[in-house]
Amino acid sequence: MSEDEKKELLASGHRMCAGCGEGTAMRTILNEAGPNSIATVATGCLEVTTTAFPQTAWEIPLIHAAFENAASVAAGIESALKQMDKKGETNILSFAGDGGTFDIGFQALSGMFERKHNVTHICLDNEAYMNTGIQRCSSTPYGASTTTSPKGKYSIGEDRPKKPIARIASAHDIPYAATACIGYINDLKKKVNKALEADGPAFLHVFAPCPTGWRHGSSDTIELAKLAVETGVFVLWEAEDGNICDLNVTYKPKERKPVEEYLKKQRRFAHLTEEHIEKIQKEVDEKCEEYGF
Amino acid sequence: MGEQKGLTIQGNMATALGAKLSRPDVIPAYPITPSTLFPEKISEYIADGELDASMIRVESEHSAMSACIGASAVGARTCTASASQGIALMHEMLFIAAGMRLPIVMAVGNRAMSAPINIWADHQDTMASRDSGWMQFYAEKNQEGLDLMILAFRIAEDERVLLPAMVGIDGFVLTHTVEGVQAPAQEDVDEFLPPYDPPHGKLDPEEPMTFGSLGTPEYYQELKYDQTKAMDNTPEIIDEIFDEFEEKFGRNYNRITPYRCEDADIILLTMGSMTGTARAAVDEMREEGEKVGLAKLTVFRPFPSDLLKEIAGDVHGLAVVDRNISPGFGGAVFAECAGAFINEKKSPLMKNFIVGLGGREIFKKNFREMYEKTKKAVETGKVEKPVEWINMDEDVMR
């Protein structure tokens, strides 16, 4: 391995919050992708914390254009490099948060998948619009209190379930779609490589806790990321060629922990009653049954 | 020097041919009336092997401009086409293309804005993008559409400029109307427009660089100043490149072209396809002894205040004809013209006429009426109504 390849590709000194799950995710993903990569990033925490002029934390070429179009900017890059015979082995990565993937960026993402650009889109999911101050998104889970779905006398917080984005992505019949979590780094690394090796568009849904938005201790990030998987709240799987009926669950906890263990460590769920927690447990149980564990 | 080829084609075919001769690498585009024939023609060129380029059939105009930005940032010569609602949908990205100094070229089929929905000619769509940092060129006829595409690439990619540019041809009046054009030979265009090589870096793993940084209050204003300064520097570069084009291809372009203005008392200022009708009206009135001239605006951004003052500085009346409306003020071109004369001791008396919105016909008699109204204002020394709407249903005006 050359010196260059050993270099961290997301330089230290960025401005992410202490305990930010995105930092761990980004460091892992960029180091797996290596220096022969070009990235686009949607507006959001990642862009704000890593690109403040005149500094940049990026050791690979990066372009940030706007909120809803990381995938279409990446599509332009990929087509241009192909046209100019320069694509070679260059990885094209498109990064967006959950807002830039599930909501505002969904159309651009769907178009990029459908046109079969050789781009890997990576969604860093912290389950709300964190950069603008913890507003609900279609990624926000049932029961979470956010600034636009606050708990209250007549509100339990977010009252709809999380949108199954990775299944929707996979339903575009793309070569590779997977969920991953920063609590399972080796699994994440494997999936990054599979996504980059795929001949065509790939999607990675990376679960990354946010101490600021979830209101948990900044030293609990990894533990919470693991708990999300151990409780079955977030399931790690991968699917090839849109085959979501026969997806591969990449990690099955031997014994699932109760969801309460995951919920009680976060103040966004602190208002939930036993009944609410039971309801969530029931839904998680049903989901895990679907996934076969 | 190769021979130019005479063709009889629609306006969209002319801008598409101008694009093809410019050898773009990437064309992300989304269909919208009346510019749809542009991506259709480009697709045909590629399908027939006449153009070696990548066409991205995006799912929206927003993604069209987004993909243009990505492609241009890796050093590809990039263009697209759009109109009206499509330009409005990509509005956000227009600013970003200009802010990143990417020399993207867009062929526009100028069209009205909804509501009510209307697919016909007016300039509201591009006037609404006035402040996005793009250069704006407007064609009177299909030949100009073809030439201005080649010119737009050359000017946009000039190291001293590096700004995106749009070339407007009026919806249907030009986009779908067949006219004769002279097509330059490919080898001559190749000589005039060398391959694009970004002079200040691109997205390249060999030399990593961040595009589209966060610009905090400590830096933002200076960055905008630099961008604005680039635009402010373009007039003489545009003149220089227009001259070079004329020398090579024999067709003359100016930021504003005067017609019979030498001894004129009153000048009509027009933009786009209405200019031909205005010229015929001026000829008629000249025969009748009226001292009237015409000024055709080809470059709206950067606005040629310097040339306008040279051409219209000594006349008594300037009638600015706008095919757009900024509700609460008047026409956008009128505002620019009025601004050009601010702080000048001598300025013509100015009137603004709103015409041709949403494809409303503009007749010679309308220009005569505008002239008469301006003449009356000059004679009385009083402008009772600075902004007037022309060729209207009388019942509505009562």
Q: DSSP labels for chain A?
A: --HHHHS-SB-TT--PPTT-HHHHHHHHHHHHH-SSEEEEE-SSHHHHHH-BTT---BSS-EEE--SS-HHHHHHHHHHHHHHTT--TT-EEEEEEESIIIIITTHHHHHHHHHTT-S-EEEEEE-SSBTTTTSB--TTPPTT---SSS-EETTEES--SPPP-HHHHHHTTT-SEEEEEETT-HHHHHHHHHHHHHSSS-EEEEEE---HHHHT--TT-HHHHHHHHHHTTSS--EEEETT-GGG-EE----SSPPPHHHHHTT-GGGTT--HHHHHHHHHHHHHHHHHHT-
| Contact criterion met (CB < 8 Å) for B73 and A63 | yes
Query: What is the mean predicted confidence (pLDDT) over B372-389?
Result: 97
| Contact criterion met (CB < 8 Å) for A64 and B75 | no
Q: Which domain holds residue B117?
A: 5-249
Cβ atoms of residues A257 and A229 within 8 Å: no
pLDDT at residue A3 is higher than 80 = no
**Chain B neighbors of A86, CB-CB under 8 A:** 74
Residues B296 and B199 in one domain: no
pLDDT at residue A5 is higher than 60 = no
Phi and psi, residue B80, nearest 5°: -150, 180
Could you report the per-residue pLDDT of B261-279, keeping only the tens digit for each? 999 999 999 999 999 999 9
| Contact criterion met (CB < 8 Å) for A76 and B67 | yes
Cβ atoms of residues B175 and B109 within 8 Å: yes
pLDDT at residue A199 is higher than 70 = yes
pLDDT confidence tier of residue A2, bands split at 50, 70 and 90: low
Q: Which two tokens stand for residue B37?
A: 């024939």
Q: How far is B1 from chain A (nearest CA, A)?
A: 28
pLDDT at residue A166 is higher than 70 = yes
Q: Between β-strands A237-240 and A248-249, what pairing exists: parallel, antiparallel or unpaired?
A: antiparallel
CA distance B299 to A179: 52
pLDDT at residue A85 is higher than 50 = yes
Q: At which of B218, B249, B280 does a domain end?
A: B249
Residues B155 and B266 in one domain: no
Residues B307 and B379 in one domain: yes
**Chain B neighbors of A38, CB-CB under 8 A:** 74, 203, 205
The predicted structure's pLDDT at residue A31: 96
A3 burial type by CB count under 10 A (0-12 exposed, 13-18 middle, 19+ buried): exposed
Which CATH number do you get for residue A78?
A: 3.40.50.970
The answer to whether A13 contacts chain B (CB < 8 Å) is no
Chain B interface, best mutation among A77, A91, A117, A121, by max B CB count within 10 A: A77
Tell me the Ramachandran region of residue B123: left when phi exceeds 0, alpha when psi lies from -120 to 50, beta otherwise: alpha
Residues B186 and B268 in one domain: no
Nearest by CB: A77 against B63, B92, B203: B203
CA distance B140 to B132: 23
* Mean pLDDT of chain B, nearest integer: 98
Query: What is the mean predicted confidence (pLDDT) over B306-314?
Result: 97
Instruction: List the single residue in B with minimal CA-CA distance to A91.
Output: B205
Q: Which two tokens stand for residue B155?
A: 């000017």
Chain B interface, best mutation among A51, A63, A113, by max B CB count within 10 A: A63
The pLDDT > 90 percentage for chain A reads 93
Per-residue exposure over A174-202, b if at least 16 CB sit within 10 Å of its own CB, e if not: bbbbbbbbbbbbebbebbbebbbebebbb
The pLDDT > 70 percentage for chain B reads 100
| Contact criterion met (CB < 8 Å) for A63 and B60 | no
**Chain A neighbors of B201, CB-CB under 8 A:** none
pLDDT at residue B41 is higher than 50 = yes
Domain count, chain B: 2
The answer to whether A66 contacts chain B (CB < 8 Å) is yes
Q: At which of B210, B232, B249 does a domain end?
A: B249
The answer to whether A33 contacts chain B (CB < 8 Å) is no
Query: What is the mean predicted confidence (pLDDT) over A128-153?
Result: 98
Q: Which two tokens stand for residue B315?
A: 């006349």
Cβ atoms of residues A58 and A242 within 8 Å: no
Instruction: List the single residue in A with minimal CA-CA distance to B217.
Output: A53
> Within 10 A of A2 (CB to CB), how many other CB atoms are there?
7
Residues B67 and B176 in one domain: yes
| Contact criterion met (CB < 8 Å) for A75 and B63 | yes
The predicted structure's pLDDT at residue A7: 85
Q: Which domain holds residue A206?
A: 3-291
- Edge-first strand order for the sheet with B135-138 is B79-82, B105-110, B165-170, B135-138, B299-301
| Contact criterion met (CB < 8 Å) for B70 and A76 | yes
pTM exceeds 0.95, yes or no: yes
Q: How far is A190 from chain B (nearest CA, A)?
A: 23
Residues B186 and B277 in one domain: no
Which CATH number do you get for residue B93?
A: 3.40.50.970
pLDDT confidence tier of residue A244, bands split at 50, 70 and 90: confident
pLDDT at residue B302 is higher than 70 = yes
Could you report the per-residue pLDDT of B120-150, keeping only the tens digit for each? 999 999 999 999 999 999 999 999 999 999 9
Residue whose pair of structure tokens reads 């006037």 in the numeric block: B127
Q: Give the closest residue to A286 by CA, choosing from A266, A260, A265, A256.
A: A256
pLDDT confidence tier of residue A87, bands split at 50, 70 and 90: low
Please tell me whether the interface predicted TM-score (ipTM) of this complex is above 0.90.
Answer: yes
Which CATH number do you get for residue B363?
A: 3.40.50.920
Phi and psi, residue B359, nearest 5°: 85, 10
> Within 10 A of A58 (CB to CB), how many other CB atoms are there?
23
Name the CA radius of gyration of chain A, rounded: 18
| Contact criterion met (CB < 8 Å) for B28 and A79 | yes
Residues B268 and B215 in one domain: no
Residues B328 and B201 in one domain: no
Residues B104 and B21 in one domain: yes
Residues B268 and B239 in one domain: no
**Chain B neighbors of A68, CB-CB under 8 A:** 62
| Contact criterion met (CB < 8 Å) for A61 and B209 | yes
Residues B176 and B83 in one domain: yes
Query: What is the mean predicted confidence (pLDDT) over A161-189?
Result: 98
The predicted structure's pLDDT at residue B225: 98
pLDDT at residue A4 is higher than 60 = no
pLDDT at residue B310 is higher than 90 = yes
| Contact criterion met (CB < 8 Å) for A76 and B214 | no
The predicted structure's pLDDT at residue A88: 73
The pLDDT > 70 percentage for chain A reads 98
pLDDT at residue A246 is higher than 90 = no
Query: What is the mean predicted confidence (pLDDT) over B169-187?
Result: 98
Query: What is the mean predicted confidence (pLDDT) over B93-107?
Result: 98
Q: How far is A139 from chain B (nearest CA, A)?
A: 23
Q: How far is B65 from chain A (nearest CA, A)?
A: 8
Q: Give the closest residue to B297 by CA, choosing from B333, B325, B262, B266.
A: B333
The predicted structure's pLDDT at residue A1: 45
**Chain A neighbors of B222, CB-CB under 8 A:** none
Residues B296 and B376 in one domain: yes
